[in-house]
Amino acid sequence: MTIDLKTIKHIAKLSRISVNDTKAEKLADDLNAIFKFIEKLNELKTEKIKPLTSVAETPLKLRTDEVKSENIREDIIKNSPEDNQDYFVVPKVIE
């Protein structure tokens, strides 16, 4: 199986990464080499195997739903590239 440029551009769109044609070609080459290497897994029959989602054998712990943090509004907004009062600012989305 090979990954073509159309697929690369589709994945790039899903990844929210902009790619031009040159970059797409390079990525296609790289990904094809990597997937050729990954195809090795097809040698194994795995129909009856249960997938491993976590190596921790203990179940995830539940905790009570309590508010613990103080008022950290300023901390949250502090690193934003652009903010206005208590809001993150993004390019206009509604005309």
Partner 1 sequence: MTEITKQTLSDLVENIKKKKVSSTEVTKAFIERSKKSKKLNTYITENFNAALDKAKKFDEKPNLDLKLPGIPIAVKDLFCTKNVRTTAGSKILNNFIPTYESTVTKNIWNEGGILLGKLNCDEFAMGSSNETSFFGNVQNPISQNLVPGGSSGGSASALAAQLTPVTIGTDTGGSIRQPASFTGTVGLKPTYGSCSRYGIVAFASSLDQAGPMSQNVKDCALLYEVISSYDKKDSTSIDFKRNNYSQKLTKDIKGKKIGVPKEYRVDNMPKEIDELWQKGIKCIKNCGAEIIEISLPHTSYALPTYYIVAPAEASSNLARYDGVKYGFRAEGKNLIEMYEKTRSEGFGEEVQRRIMIGTYVLSSGYYDAYYLKAQKVRKLIKNDFDEAYKKVDAILTPSTPSSAFKIGEKNNDPVSMYLNDIFTVPVNLAGLPGISIPAGHDSQGYPLGLQIIGKSFDEQNIINIAYSMEEKIEFKNNIKDWWIG
Q: Are the CB atoms for 5 and 25 separated by under 8 Å?
A: yes
Q: Which of 2, 6, 18, 86 binds partner 1 (CB under 8 A)?
A: 18
- Give me the 43-72 binding string for partner 1, x by CB under 8 A, dash otherwise: xx-x--xxxxxxxx-x-xx-x--------x
5 scored as a contact of partner 1 (CB under 8 A): no
From the list 6, 37, 66, 70, which residue makes contact with partner 1 (rule: CB under 8 A)?
A: 37
Residues in the chain: 95
Tokens describing residue 94: 């509604």
12 binds partner 1 (CB under 8 A): yes
Distance CA 11, CA 31 (A): 11
Output the six-digit token pair for 48: 């009856």
**Measured between alpha carbons, how far is residue 72 from residues 1, 75, 84 in Å?**
50, 5, 16
Q: Which residues here bind partner 1, judged by CB under 8 A?
A: 3, 7-8, 11-12, 14-19, 27, 30-31, 33-34, 37-44, 46, 49-56, 58, 60-61, 63, 72, 75-76, 78-82, 88, 90-93
